[in-house]
Amino acid sequence: MTTLSPHGYYAGDRLQATAVFVLFALVAFPAIFLDARFTEAYDETRYHLPAITHFAQSLPYPDLHNYSSATTPLYHLIFALLLKIGFGLTALRLINFAISTATVAAVFIYLRRAANPSSLSLANAGTLAFAASIYVVGPAVRLTTDNLALGCAVGVLYLVESERRSVFGLEVILATAAVLTRQLYLWLVPLLVFYSLTNPRWGRMSKIEGVAASIIPFLAVTPLFFLWGGFANARFAPTHELRGNIIDGRALVMAICMLAAYSIALAPAMLQLLSSVSRLRRTLMAGLFLAATAILPVFGARAGSYQIPMEGGWIRALAEHTPAIAGIWALFWILFPIGIVTVVALGLYAANSRGEIWILTAFGFWLILNVMQTRAMAKYYEPFEILVVARFAVRARAASWYALGVWTLAFGFIVVDIFRFWFGSGWASPGFAPVG
């Protein structure tokens, strides 16, 4: 039987909360100093460190037209300045690790503030699953842009849900920093616009001012788009920008399948949360499942269509061990309809819950931006989707065992992390095949 402490937390909660950060540090910190081969180590050497060095050599007039990263340059400019004033590679990695730890802390605070008092363990487990993802640990131990942008986005979501006008300026600053770090975070702009237009506490003038402020992140990055003549600089535009299509269907399928996978890990809480769905809506969900199954082939997510080695991550690696049915991996036939039903069911739940509408809206805008590119890279999806599913799940009145599956998943991630980031084991880095 769980008991409450004098401060209102369940007994053992403080230990769990401490364990989240201790385990993250124990896994990630040693990898900063090790020399294993994994994706982010390759990216640091091939893309990010050369960009940082390039900018450091050209400061105070950095060449923003053509540099060795497909992302917007804020992260590289910050680290270029640090390199310029004398910080070495190890020091830069330590600063990068501190940024990543702050991102984990932001997720921890975000989930726990939203959590039902009975779901604090679920919030802790969700944070650890997020922190132990290979796509969070990797950018924490090598110089890459992912965690800075993601941390800023989580900060925006936290502040949006607070609905305090006094912090809206900070939301805009964080969104601008995220967009200038990774242009894919432009999804924060329509989120802030929507927030401004629908905030019942704001009058007409406040809403106009809010919309005007919300587009600042877009205005900040627009000069770069004009300079590049596209969404990425000239060196990377051919491989990252879509030609002739609005979305990449393969990317959409991968993102939906990944959402389904983490919804299954949180199934007890998710099912309890959605138990209020009416019988009629349950019938609708069954029909939607069949419809999603029927339309899956139109998205082009056929076996063999994910050609870049790191596309799809571990879901692709698992799918490759399932038979292809009508040219599509069996795992996709299972996960895609589950994912579609999950999205709609969460939408029905959010419609009755003012708080959850913001994370659902954020997911919608996030999904649109992330499928408007040519690469279905798992690192673009996994951390944010863990956050989204966990944010909904912690609203449930969770029994003590609800978090067991998430803790198990998190500790499984940790095992993979050790083999991937300490030893560079091939099985822990699905699809990793660097060249050069």
Confidence at residue 139, expressed as pLDDT on a 0 to 100 scale? 97
Domain ranges in the chain are 246-398
- CB-CB contact of 349 with 392 (8 Å): yes
Q: Band of the pLDDT at 55, cuts 50, 70, 90?
A: very high
Predicted confidence (pLDDT) per residue in 2-26, tens digit: 444 434 456 578 899 999 999 999 9
Token pair 């540090």 is found at 25
Task: Say whether pLDDT at 170 is over 60.
Answer: yes
Whole-angstrom distance, CA of residue 20 vs CA of residue 422: 19
Q: Band of the pLDDT at 393, cuts 50, 70, 90?
A: very high
Q: What is the mean pLDDT of the chain?
A: 90
Confidence at residue 245, expressed as pLDDT on a 0 to 100 scale? 72
- 138-152, 180-194, 203-217, 340-354, range with the lowest pLDDT: 340-354
Looking at 163-236, list the stretches that DSSP marks H as alpha helix, in order from N- to C-terminal side. Answer: 168-181, 188-198, 204-214, 216-228
Whole-angstrom distance, CA of residue 307 vs CA of residue 375: 9
- CB-CB contact of 100 with 28 (8 Å): yes
pTM: 0.94
Strand partners, 311: 377
Task: Say whether pLDDT at 339 is over 60.
Answer: yes
Whole-angstrom distance, CA of residue 4 vs CA of residue 2: 7
Establish how many alpha carbons lie within 13 A of residue 247's alpha carbon, considering only the half-sphere containing its beta carbon: 17
Predicted confidence (pLDDT) per residue in 62-109, tens digit: 989 889 999 999 999 999 999 999 999 999 999 999 999 999 999 999
Confidence at residue 7, expressed as pLDDT on a 0 to 100 scale? 43
Whole-angstrom distance, CA of residue 81 vs CA of residue 85: 6
Give 225-243 as a DSSP string: HHHHTSSS-TTTHHHHS-S
Whole-angstrom distance, CA of residue 350 vs CA of residue 123: 19
Give 284-317 as a DSSP string: HHHHHHHHHHHHGGGG---TT---STTBTHHHHH
Predicted confidence (pLDDT) per residue in 210-233, tens digit: 999 999 999 999 999 999 988 888
Predicted confidence (pLDDT) per residue in 175-203, tens digit: 999 999 999 999 999 999 999 999 888 88
DSSP assignment letter at 9: P
